[in-house]
């Protein structure tokens, strides 16, 4: 597998217009990225632009705060799948996590996974707001809820992915779930280091830059 196979090429900016999303998708086709990651309203245009290609469409839900009701998140996830998304990147309810409402956090993840069936669910734990003990617990809850991935960050918090967080997450999930490093991955060397630490996916808006830096 090459670096492109690990990349979710991402544009989640609130100001992203249709042309921006089409450009994102065209770049994903050109470089052979695994997926694009977009806001829910942009799923239909991404799906249309990527038709007849192997590039998948991932959509974020409960983004970026995670503080919506479970019912709203489930509806949003199902709507994105119905519009053509093949993967869902959800933000946990960080306030619940900080309040030690662990059953509620797990039940919400489980409800979303159940609603989307065999589609991929990535759980964004937003590491910048959690203690190490909370990060470990969040990973445990994601596994218990049958999530496919745990993911470091939205890219909209106070910090993004770190090597230390990925090592900690890997120590908890092992082979029970995959890991997505996201937030601040802007050069090839950093991306390669994350892959060596065991991540299966990298969320970045700098995908073309990373590929252009690749040694011939």
**For residue 215, pLDDT beyond 80:** no
Q: Are 92 and 138 in contact (CB under 8 A)?
A: yes
- The domain segmentation of the chain, as residue ranges, is 3-212
Is position 119 annotated as part of the catalytic site? no
Extract the tokens encoding 42: 């942009």
Is position 137 annotated as part of the catalytic site? no
Give the residue-averaged pLDDT of 59-64: 98
Average pLDDT over the chain reads 97
Give the residue-averaged pLDDT of 163-188: 97
The sign one gets for the Cα dihedral 67, 120, 14, 125 is positive
**For residue 214, pLDDT beyond 80:** no
Extract the tokens encoding 69: 């009701």
Instruction: Give 44's pLDDT tier (boundaries 50, 70, 90).
Output: very high
Which residue is catalytic, options 89, 113, 148, 178? 89
Class of the CATH domain delimited by 3-212: alpha beta
Give the residue-averaged pLDDT of 189-201: 97
Rounded Cα gap, residues 181 and 15, in angstroms: 23
Rounded Cα gap, residues 195 and 2, in angstroms: 11
Give the residue-averaged pLDDT of 78-94: 98
Element (H, E) at 108: helix 102-116
Q: Are 195 and 202 in contact (CB under 8 A)?
A: yes
In this prediction, residue 216 carries a pLDDT of: 52
Is position 151 annotated as part of the catalytic site? yes
DSSP assigned state of 138: H
Which residue is catalytic, options 113, 122, 135, 151? 151
């Amino acid at each position: 597998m090459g670096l492109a196979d690990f990349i979710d090429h991402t544009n989640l900016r609130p100001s992203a217009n249709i042309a921006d999303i089409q450009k994102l998708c065209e770049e994903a086709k050109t470089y052979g990225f695994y997926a694009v990651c977009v806001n829910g309203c942009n799923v239909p245009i991404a799906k249309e632009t990527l038709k007849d290609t192997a590039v998948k469409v991932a959509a974020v839900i409960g983004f970026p705060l995670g503080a919506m009701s479970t019912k709203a998140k489930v509806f949003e996830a199902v709507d994105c799948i119905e519009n053509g998304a093949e993967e869902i990147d959800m933000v946990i309810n960080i306030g619940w996590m900080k309040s030690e409402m662990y059953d509620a956090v797990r039940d919400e993840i489980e409800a979303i996974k159940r609603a989307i069936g065999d589609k991929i669910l990535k759980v964004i734990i937003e590491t910048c707001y959690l203690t190490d003990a909370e990060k470990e617990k969040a990973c445990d809850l994601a596994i218990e809820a049958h999530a496919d991935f745990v993911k470091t960050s939205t890219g909209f918090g106070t910090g993004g992915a770190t090597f230390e967080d990925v090592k900690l997450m890997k120590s908890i999930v092992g082979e029970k779930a995959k890991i997505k490093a996201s937030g601040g991955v802007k050069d090839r060397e950093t991306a390669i280091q994350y892959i060596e630490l065991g991540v299966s996916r990298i969320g970045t808006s700098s995908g073309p830059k990373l590929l252009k830096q690749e040694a011939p």
